[in-house]
Amino acid sequence: MKKLNILAIETSCDDTSIAVIKNGQIYSNIILSSAELQNTYGGVVPELAARMHEKNAIPALKLALKGLAPHEIDLIAYTNDPGLRVCLNVGESLAYTLHLLLKKPLLPVNHLYAHIFSFHDDATKPIEYPFLGAVISGGHTSIYLVKSVSEIELLNATVDDAVGECYDKIARELKLGYPGGPLIDRMFELEKANLKFMHKMPTVDAPFSFSGLKTAVLNHINKCNMMKQPLDLVSITSSFQKTIIDIVLAKIKFYLNQYPVKGIAIGGGVSANHYLQARLKALSDVAVWMPATNALSADNAAMIGIYANLL
Ligand code: KG4
Ligand code: ZN
């Protein structure tokens, strides 16, 4: 385990996050979210998010240092890809400025790989390879075979919407608020998941695709509205959640049968979903590793530092 103080910066979407990893443990993980502002537009507006990063970066940095002197930082890690370009630029500029000022090395980090390792919040514990890594977020839905910290093979990725994006769009149509995932998660009742949105489940070895399911749910909502029928919010959202988790789980099961792995790690905002977590634990005998808190599931800088510490 490396004895380093890592300053980590994450600005890929609407959360400005700065963290310090001190000797392999999370020392701070500050997240200043602009979700409330984005809520008024029903989704993330990149230019607006970038402006909020500019406003929040220095306050987040001060909070994250929490008594540490800047010269005590040994390494500056930052998200360089993937993400909204105008947002990534803010984090990259801050990282580069600190690198010049403090004369400390810079390490660009892949946001998706950081999500995969976000469960590993204690560097004293070993990681068992190979494992399956699933990133399920607002922008991505991908499954990887992780053979080592730097040998990460993509097995599947969505060809259209991401799982979290479907949650957000359906919640917006139902005027529930943004982000939709946690709201729908809280409303979920298995016995009310009685609507059939898919005639046939997708074949397990095909790439993920969720736009068909999303459109079916949106069409159902529009049809009810047009016919002036009351919307059963719990039934619609529970049926949607049950179906989308069924699809994700079927795919994970397929890869678990293909590869003899030691475990499955999940990350990304949707990995905080209670129904997904429960179903995953019941899926097989393989160990399930998930982020310890909702903050570590969603976009956050601690995961950037955690991954940087392993490289
Ligand atoms: O990882 P993240 O913070 O940002 C991206 O990189 O996209 O994920 C945000 C997504 C949003 O779509 C949000 O609705 C979803 O994660 N989400 C959830 C839950 N919490 C957040 N989806 C389902 N259940 C949840 N509990
Ligand atoms: Zn993310």
pLDDT tens digits, residue range 35-62?
Answer: 777 777 767 888 999 999 999 999 999 9
Tokens of 201: 């489940």
**Ligand 1, atom 13, residue with closest C-alpha:** 181
pLDDT attached to residue 265: 98
pLDDT attached to residue 62: 96
Query: pLDDT for 157-175, tens place per residue?
Result: 999 999 999 999 999 999 9
| CB of 164 shorter than 6 A to ligand 1 | yes
Distance separating alpha carbons of residues 280 and 293, to the nearest angstrom: 17
Q: Is the peptide bond before 59 cis (omega within 30 degrees of 0)?
A: no
Q: What is the Å distance from ligand 1's center to 294 Cα?
A: 9
Q: Which ligand has an atom closest to residue 291 CA?
A: 1
Most informative mutation of 13, 87, 136, 137 for ligand 1 (most atoms within 8 A of CB): 137
| CB of 263 shorter than 6 A to ligand 1 | no
Average pLDDT value over all residues in the chain: 94
pLDDT attached to residue 199: 82
Q: Which atom of ligand 1 is nearest to the CA of 272?
A: 26
Out of 91-100, 153-162, 224-233, pick the least confident.
224-233
The strand pairing partners of 9, in sequence order, are 18, 78
Q: What is the Å distance from ligand 2's center to 191 Cα?
A: 31
- Start-end of H helices in 11-122: 35-39, 46-65, 85-102, 111-116
Q: What is the Å distance from ligand 2's center to 230 Cα?
A: 35
Contact yes or no for 72/5 (Cβ under 8 A): yes
Q: What is the Å distance from ligand 2's center to 82 Cα?
A: 9
Q: Which of 119, 127, 131 is nearest to 26 (CA)?
A: 119
**Ligand 1, atom 8, residue with closest C-alpha:** 269
| CB of 267 shorter than 6 A to ligand 1 | no
- Residue 124 makes CB contacts below 8 A (sequence gap 6+) with 1, 24
Distance separating alpha carbons of residues 240 and 22, to the nearest angstrom: 41
Q: Which atom of ligand 1 is nearest to the CA of 15?
A: 3
Helices (H) then strands (E): counts for the chain: 11, 10
Q: How, if at all, do strands 141-146 and 152-157 pair?
A: antiparallel
| CB of 13 shorter than 6 A to ligand 1 | yes
Average pLDDT over residues 298-302: 97
Query: Where are the strands (E) in the chain, listed by range?
Result: 5-10, 15-22, 25-33, 75-81, 106-110, 131-136, 141-146, 152-157, 263-267, 287-289
**Ligand 1, atom 23, residue with closest C-alpha:** 181
| DSSP annotation of 213 | H
Q: Is 179 helix (H, G, I), strand (E, B) or coil?
A: coil
- Residue 55 makes CB contacts below 8 A (sequence gap 6+) with none
Percent of the chain at pLDDT above 70? 99
Query: pLDDT for 226-275, tens place per residue?
Result: 999 989 999 999 999 999 999 999 999 999 999 999 999 999 999 999 99
The dihedral sign for the CA sequence 17, 176, 83, 273: positive
**Ligand 1, atom 3, residue with closest C-alpha:** 298
Q: What is the Å distance from ligand 1's center to 269 Cα?
A: 3
Kindly report whether the global pTM for this prediction surpasses the value 0.85. yes
Distance of CA 77 to the CA centre of its chain: 18
- Residue 72 makes CB contacts below 8 A (sequence gap 6+) with 5
| CB of 269 shorter than 6 A to ligand 1 | yes
- Residue 8 makes CB contacts below 8 A (sequence gap 6+) with 18, 19, 20, 21, 77, 78, 109, 301, 302, 304, 305, 308
**Ligand 1, atom 5, residue with closest C-alpha:** 138
Q: Is residue 200 pLDDT above 90, yes or no?
A: no
